[in-house]
Structure 1
Amino acid sequence: MRGVLLLLGTMALLHAGIFDFLDVNKAHTSYENKDYKAAIQSYKKLENKAGGRYDLANSYYKSKQYKKALESYEKITDKKLEFKKLHNLGNTYAHLGKIDDAIKSYEAALKIKKDKDTQYNLDLLKKQKKEQQKKQNKNQKNKKNDKKQNSKNQQNKQNKNDQKNQQNQKNQQNKQNKNNQNKNDQRKKDQQNKSQEQHNKNQKKTQNKDAKKSTPESKKQRKKQAQGSIKKAPPISDMEERKYQKMLNNRGVNTLMLPLKSKGDLHHETNPW
C-alpha cells in the first residue's frame, strides 16, 4: 500500500512539472514573439515560481504598463535578481518621469555590480536632470523677469492713468474756472446794463419832470422877458424932426423924412428949437 502511494505521488509531481514546463514554454514563446498580453497571462500562473514574478514584471514593462511593472518589480525578493530588479526599476521610474527615483535605483544597482548600460543610463539621466534644472532655472528667471516687467508695465500704466486723470481734473477745473469767470463777467455786464438802464430811466424821469414844469404860462413869461430885454428907441418929436430936416437941407442933402407916428400923436413941442 505504501508503495502505491509513493508511486501516485511521483506521478503527480511529474504531471505538475510537465504542466509548469508547458506554461513556462508558452510564456517564453509569447514574450519572444512580443505577444506581451499572452505572456502576462502565462506568467501570472507562474508568479510564485522562481523567476516568475520577474518575467511578469518584464512583460508589463514591455507592454508599457509601467505602473503594474513597478508593482511587480518591487515584490521581487530574490537576492540573485536584485541587480536586474534595481536596473529595471530605474528604467521604469524613468518612463514614469520619476528621474530622482530612477537615479537612486541605478546608483544602488551599480553598488552591486559595475555595468556599462546601467552607468550609461545613470549618466544620461543626470545630464537630463541638469538640463531640466537649467531650463527650470531659466524659466523661473524668465518668469521672474516677466513678473517684474508686468509689474513695471502695470506701474507705467497706472502712472499714465494717474497723469491722465490729473490732466482731466485740471481740464475740468480750468473749464469750471472759465465758466465761473464767464458767469462773473456776464453778471458784471448785466449789472452795468441794469445800472445804465436805471440811469437812463432816472434821466428820462428828470427830463419829464422838467418838461412838466415848462407850462405855457412860463413859456409866455420867458418870451415876454426876452422881448422886454430889447430897448425901444424913443419916438422923435415933430420939433426934433424939423430940426433934423433943416440940418440935412443946410448940408445939401435932399432927403425926405417920413413922419413917424407915435403914440398919442404929439403936436406940441416941449422944447422950442
Structure 2
Amino acid sequence: MQALIRPFGALHLQVTGPSGAPVVVFANSLGTDLRLWDRVLPLLPQGLRYIRYDKRGHGLSSLGGGAVIEDHADDAIAVIEELADGPVVFVGLSIGGLIGQVVASHRPDLVRALVLSNSAAQMGTAQSWQARIEAVADGGLDSIADAVMERWFAPAFRATPDLALWRAMMARTPAAGYIATCKALAGANQAEATRALRLPALVIAGEQDGASPPALVKATADLIPGAAFHEIPGAGHLPCVEFPAEWAALVAPFLKDHAHV
C-alpha cells in the first residue's frame, strides 16, 4: 500500500511494474475501489507501470471534498505529477472515465491517450443524482445496493456467488464519500471540452449496461475524432469484472500502441 498526501488527507495507491516504465493510470467507478481492476491487470502488457488509486471518500482514501468533478481531476493530476515522468495512458470506468476526460482537457500535457470504459461526457441528470443522494441519506447505501447491482451486472453474473462481494464493496463505501461523488456527477458535463480533445481514444461499452447504456457511451466516442468504439456482448457496467479476458483483449493492443513514447 502507498499513500499520496493531499489537502484533504491520504489518497490510497497501488503501483506495480518497473520503475521508469511508461505509466498507465486507472480510475474506478462510483462505489468501487481499486480492486475493480484485479482481474484484468494480469492480462495486460508486461513492462508497463500500472497505477491504481481509490477516489477520495472510497476504499482506503480519506474523506473530504469531492463534490465537484474538478476535485477528482485534481487528485488524478497529483498522482500523475508525483509518480509519472511524462504523459500517461489514462484508463477510467464510469466516473473514472469522466475524470480522465477532465484531466485530458485541463492538462493535455499529462495524458497521452484515453481508455473510456462504460463512461460518457455526461452521466445521468441532476434530478436522478439528487434522488440517489436522498435515498442514501435516508436509508444508507445498503438500501440501494440491490438496485445498483442490477444496473452494474448482467443477469448471468448476478446469479454467481461473486455478486455478494461486489455488493459488499458498494454498500461499505462511506456514505459521505458516495454522496459527494454523486454531487460531482450531477454537476459534470464535459461534452464541449471532450469534443475538443485530440488524442488517441478507446471507448468501451457493455451491451447490458444499466448505468451507462451503449448508445450513451457511443455518443461520447463520437465526440472524439478517430476514437475507436467497441461493445462487449452480454456485459454490464463493469465488464472488467464480468468479462476480463474480452475487456483486456481490447485494451492490451491499445496500450501496446500508445503507452510508449
If the length of structure 1 is used for normalisation, what is the TM-score? 0.20
Point out the structure with the larger strand share: 2
Greater gyration radius: 1
Point out the structure with the larger helix share: 1
User: Highest relative contact order (Cα 8 Å, sep 6+), 1 or 2?
Assistant: 2
